Amino acid sequence: MGMSLPDAAWRTRPGLAALTAVLGSTSAQSRFVGGAVRDTLLGLAPADTGAIDIDIATSLPPQEVLERLEDARIRAVPTGLAHGTITAVTEGGTVEITTLRRDVATDGRHATIAYTDDWREDAARRDFTINALYADPVSGEIFDYFGGLDDLSAGRVRFIGDPLQRIAEDHLRILRFFRFHARFGSEIDVAGLEACTARANDLMALSRERIAAELLKLLVAARAVAVIALMVERGIWRAVLPEIDADGV
């Protein structure tokens, strides 16, 4: 076995072990994914078990997830059933469970999805390599399909596959690129930066609410000032907030 997920307080959250057991005892059925895995590998997982978002990817179809939770008397909320996401309410907090997916069609704001049982296919639709790391809920074994561990070690935020294609699928990924770079990045990924610069005007198609939510997360990042300066230099800030002159930022 390769790298394993280090011990972290959130892994002992009340109700989590019971939940993962309900979803299946093997990593072929369910795995932790996303921010909790990434932050734990970086040693950034908080001591407060309720202060981290836990996401589980599963090969089970949504209806089976609902049935299993119901049989186990775990409250299930179909928060995003159209996209395969169900929220489980456990003693220690909520956990989002999402069936493995692939994109069928995208328009930069929304995606039409289909379910799959292919973990690599699910990873391929995610934004950055550091966000596509999965962990076995029991052994902690890490599954890395696109070099996310190397990028995490290097402090590199890198799109999965073609950056332009990833941005075309969801324009908000431009802001997420800069937000994650402000938080985790060392030397910026040139291909990602050039793609974000080229597609900056795509941000104008997004709702102000989505943009505002992402900007708030960027502003509290450790290197927010330097990254915003880069966004101004590249003309991206103007696309985000056209009413604010760059000289006033």
Could you read off the pLDDT of 114-136 as tens digits, one per residue?
Answer: 999 999 999 999 999 999 999 99
Using 50 as the pLDDT threshold, list the residues of the chain that sit under it: 1
* Whole-angstrom distance, CA of residue 249 vs CA of residue 52: 31
- Whole-number pLDDT of residue 120: 97
Please, are residues 79 and 87 in contact by the beta-carbon 8 Å criterion? yes
Alpha carbon 151 to its chain's center: 15
The structure tokens listed for 223 are: 């290197």
Q: Identify the CATH assignment for 9-152 out of 3.40.50.620, 3.30.460.10, 3.20.20.70, 3.40.47.10.
A: 3.30.460.10
Task: Domain ranges for the chain, please list them.
Answer: 9-152, 161-248
The predicted structure's pLDDT at residue 61: 95
- Residue 64 has which token pair? 């089976």
Do 159 and 166 touch, CB atoms closer than 8 A?
yes
* Residue 69 DSSP label: H
Q: What pLDDT is stored for residue 49 in this prediction?
A: 82
Short-list 127, 151, 132, 157, CA closest to 142: 132
Q: Quote the pLDDT of residue 26.
A: 77
Rounded to two decimals, the pTM is 0.92
Fold of 161-248: Hydrophobic Seed Protein (1.10.110)
